[in-house]
Amino acid sequence: MTVANAPVPISGGVEVAPRRRPLPGLAKYLGLTPFAIYVLIFLAIPTTLAVVTGFFTEDGQFTFDNIAGLFAPNVLATFGSSFWISAVSAVIGAVVGALVCYAMLGTRSEGALRTIVDSVSSVLAQFGGVMLAFAFIATIGVQGLITVYLKNTFGVDIFSNGIWLYQVPGLLLPYIYFQVPLMVITFMPALEGLKPQWAEANATLGGTRFTYWTRIAAPVLAPSFFGSLLLLFANAFSSYATAAALISQGSQIVPLQIRSALVSETVLGRENMAGALALGMIVVMVIVMWGYSVLQSKTSRWQK
Amino acid sequence: MSSNQVRIGAEPGTLARTVILAIVGVVFAVPIVALIEFSFRSGLSGGYTLEHWISLFAPENARTYRDLFQSIGNSFILAVVTVAIVLVILLPTMILVHIQFPKLRRVLEFICIIPITVPAIVLVVGLAPVYSVVVKVFGGSIWTLAFAYGITVLPYAYRSIQANLDAIPVVTLSEAARSLGAGWVAVLWRVLLPNLRRGVLAASFITVAVVLGEFTIASLLNRRNLQTALLQVSQSDPWVAAILAVLALALAFVLLLIIGRLGSVGRNQSEK
């Protein structure tokens, strides 16, 4: 890479100056328009529409009815289920994921182990959805590998209290299954940011491994850990595909309630209810992601 | 690395490492193994067979699975068009902003991260009315869905390309080329793109992986792609659904493994 090491030319030099701005002011900005228009049509407008429709009736009259509908007991219960499943799966995912990151500490980042773990994590964290639901039906479904094994070997029937796989508790295992890999992807850089010098300083000053972890590593890693925890929460909260594939009917969590509102064409004004639900989700997501970015900015100074 | 010395750092011992990775690895392998096992089951009664794998690829069943294969084709069309959107709309904008509008970098980053905060299930509520217009302009063919997918892949594609942009001296390279008399097209095509090859490839692969796995938008806009077809076929023929899920997961794994190799090669080079 000889180019990379080439000395930086005096870019503000007199000779170069006339060539540097060949694009006149306006033409320069024209280059930004395709992206701006694209983002406007397919991100800004849909997001605005999704949020704003909640404030209107089917006939276009302004109303707070849909927003008030968010506080109906059944909708609140749905938000409660979403919170519950997201929080539990995020905490378990974060702890297990952090353990995996810890186990990989000290391995070469270009080594085969890390490359494979990274790729597997990316696949399971981003790709899962419907296929993850299939995998869990094959594992702990009524005829699943583990279900049948437990029944035949130990006489344990995991569904003795009813088939919970197709209910909200059934989402927990598949959700943890995609939360752990996401934690591995997001938390690994922070853990790698621990500098060996800190451990040496700790040892020179007479500290033990215990003081190293409690006094140095834990405070440094805490913002990143809780930031990743929030990201995991947001990830589970907004996840739709796995739930949709497992739970074919009903609206047990918020994304499924949006589905029911969108799909049921018979009830008038339901689309506007979908808008109100979307607004509710965005409010939660913005708060969570804001917390994430605050914690993340506290993390980044250790990673330089 | 220093297993014989007194360990002073954060690194775990070999035993702890092996135990943690082995337990998590085995637990996470179980659902995938179960999925593969299921695809070989001959029926509810037990026993194994290759029948389902053979029948999926048997020419005489082509008619039975025609809709399924068409949906897979749709997903590949969508993957190609979405990659094109990333390369034609996102990539030039990122290079332009990097060179000409350094102050806008944070704005661009913010825009590209928004799709994480606005999940697909929310976006689709507002996409429905937008697509009623899109269908009037472009017709109802499947590729138009790629416009929405281009948005959902923004955070991933942005991250891959930006990592590469940060690693090479873009401004220096383009000024060097300009001062040697190259036009902007030559700068872009012959100087910057070869240097950005790795980031562009990684962005393309992650885009393909995300598009092949997308379910939410396609399902709620009533379009047919790989994932919606999988869910549909699983009602009547769960074995075929399991086989295709295994194959799709394997394909995504290979794509992301290549990204990993691209990334680590880059790290080696930039360290030297």
B154 contacts in chain A (CB < 8 Å): 43
Contact A240 B17 (CB under 8 A): no
Q: How far is B31 from chain A (nearest CA, A)?
A: 5
Q: Please give chain A's pLDDT, 304 residues, in tens.
A: 334 444 444 444 444 444 444 556 677 788 888 999 999 999 999 999 888 888 887 777 787 877 877 888 888 888 998 999 999 999 999 999 999 998 888 787 777 888 888 888 888 887 768 888 888 888 888 777 777 777 788 877 777 777 777 777 888 999 999 999 999 988 888 888 788 788 888 888 888 888 888 888 888 888 889 988 999 999 999 888 888 888 877 778 888 888 888 877 655 556 778 888 888 889 999 999 888 888 878 776 665 5
Name which of B6, B41, B89, B121 to mutate to probe chain A: the one with the most chain A Cβ atoms within 10 A of its Cβ: B121
Contact A123 B184 (CB under 8 A): no
In the structure encoding, which two tokens stand for residue B36, read together?
């593969």
A118 contacts in chain B (CB < 8 Å): 256, 260
| ipTM for the assembly | 0.83
Helices (H), chain A: 2-5, 17-20, 25-30, 33-39, 45-52, 65-69, 73-104, 112-126, 130-140, 145-154, 168-192, 196-204, 209-211, 218-238, 241-246, 254-263, 270-300
**Global confidence as pTM:** 0.84
Contact A202 B8 (CB under 8 A): yes
Selecting from B16, B227, B252 the residue whose C-beta is nearest the C-beta of A241 gives: B227
Give B48's strand partners: B41
Contact A130 B253 (CB under 8 A): no
Selecting from B34, B93, B130 the residue whose C-beta is nearest the C-beta of A42 gives: B130
DSSP letter (8 states) at residue A62: B
